[in-house]
Structure 1
Amino acid sequence: MITATPFDFPYDGRLVPESTALLVIDMQEDFLSPTGYFARKGYDSTPLRAILPTVKRLIAAARAAGLTVVHTRQGYRADMADMTPYETWRRKRAGLDGTDVLLRCGAGFQIVSDIEVAPQDIIVDKTCNGAFTYTDLELVLRSRGITHLLFAGCTTDVCVHSTLREACDRNFQCLTIADACASGDRYAHEAALHMVTVEDGVFGALADSAAVVTALSRLANGAS
């Protein structure tokens, strides 16, 4: 089991690699680059880049233990045919008209080069904050028999939390890895982590990366 709050994960003590996936949410240039979308909105991308070593360690531990690794990317079609009038208005209001920021044709859409995406990894592209909305993520997970999800990535308060809530409503067992998530807003980050644990774990459990890596290493080495 993984030492976590408010209960150790999984609740029944059955951490099975084949049934578990690590979700790495939106570790893209548009969010981590000093010239990407996040920076254009006036946020500091430093906290997001700071979690890169931790996320890389988690990915390596997950692969070694036999977990599925899923990366998500947020962005719209190059022709913006999937963008509603409200989203178009927000894009213009943010000063992004005429740019390729948050478009799948842009360099910022790509996962940062610091993170190696292996051939066996799964990539899910999305337009919404939640990775289950208008995507085949649930189909992929169900097809593989995955019932348990570990969450890392950015931002804690928006895309990570939106996906976490969607996963909980679909009855996946969820663990958020606190120091492997980040936001440009410290208060929002801390509040999002706190919300995981309210009502005795309404959105699952919360752990740090050291506890997760320790448990995954034991799995990789064949220990119970």
Structure 2
Amino acid sequence: MTRPALLVMDLQIAMVGRVEDPHYVRRVAGAIDAARGAGIPVIYVVVGFRPGHPEVSPANKAFGAIPPPAFTTADPGAAIHPDVAPLADDVVITKRRVSAFTGSDLDVVLRATGVDRLVLTGIATSGVVLSTLRQAADLDYRLTVLADGCYDPDPEVHRVLTEKVFPRQADVVDVEDWISGPG
């Protein structure tokens, strides 16, 4: 039996503020509503650091350039965007790297709740979505990517990933198609 969960990854205010698609957040909100309506757990994944970023090596090109206090509890931009905010009983996972699994307890939470299929949304397609998909596939999760529930600042990179790379390890569908039969 398959037990899916919808992962809403990096939809934090600072990241959503860079999204150029005015309908993106609304589409993800629709996927969240559909998941809840179907009894599918919604799990939020956010990037977060302690004050002073002790988890970040200066050698890390991606995170080493992030100035403190970005993505700490003192940073209002680190909050999940209010249009897709979690409910009180939703799980919020804090990660320390690009993949939703790295530096987090995501795998523990998924296995404890019997989840074996992940439905991925997030910012950016070439960041958290790609890294999480690859690691989840290696951990034997079944995968679905909501293509238009993912966003990348480079439309060509998004296209190549969703049309050519992701289908090797995941079902790739649009939010509207998934809503018609979530799971």
What TM-score results when the alignment is normalised by the length of structure 2? 0.91
Aligned to 1:142: 111
Tell me the CA shift for residue 126 of structure 1. Answer: 0.8
Conserved 8 A contact 1:30-1:101: no
Q: Percent identity, aligned pairs only?
A: 26
Aligned to 2:20: 46
Conserved 8 A contact 1:77-1:105: no
Change (3 A) 1:86 1:68: same
Aligned to 2:12: 28
Q: Aligned letter for 1:75?
A: G
C-alpha RMSD of matched pairs (Å) = 1.9
Change (3 A) 1:60 1:142: same
Q: Aligned letter for 1:45?
A: V
User: Are 1:157 and 2:141 matched, yes or no?
Assistant: no
Choose from 70, 89, 113 the match for 1:120: 89
Q: Which has the larger radius of gyration?
A: 1
User: Are 1:63 and 2:47 matched, yes or no?
Assistant: no
The count of residues paired between Structure 1 and Structure 2 equals: 182
Distance in 2 separating the partners of 1:104 and 1:113? 16
Aligned to 1:196: 166
Q: Aligned letter for 1:51?
A: Y
Q: Which of the pair is proportionally richer in helix?
A: 1
Moved more, 161-170 or 202-211: 202-211
Distance in 2 separating the partners of 1:83 and 1:211? 39
Aligned to 2:52: 79
Choose from 154, 167, 172 the match for 1:185: 154
Tell me the CA shift for residue 91 of structure 1. Answer: 5.7
Conserved 8 A contact 1:29-1:111: yes
What TM-score results when the alignment is normalised by the length of structure 1? 0.75
Tell me the CA shift for residue 90 of structure 1. Answer: 5.9
Local SS of the residue matching 2:149: strand
User: Are 1:172 and 2:141 matched, yes or no?
Assistant: yes
Unaligned runs of 5+ in 1: 1-13, 34-43, 220-224
Conserved 8 A contact 2:56-2:63: no
Offset from partner CA, 1:111-160 (integer Å, 9 cap, x none): 01111311121100011100111211000000001101111111111111
Distance in 1 separating the partners of 2:63 and 2:142? 35
Unaligned runs of 5+ in 2: none
Give matches, 1:78-97, under 5 Å: 78-87=51-60, 94=65, 96-97=66-67
Aligned to 1:211: 177
Q: Aligned letter for 2:20?
A: T
Q: Aligned letter for 1:20?
A: P
Distance in 1 separating the partners of 2:170 and 2:19? 27
User: Are 1:101 and 2:67 matched, yes or no?
Assistant: no
Tell me the CA shift for residue 182 of structure 1. Answer: 0.6
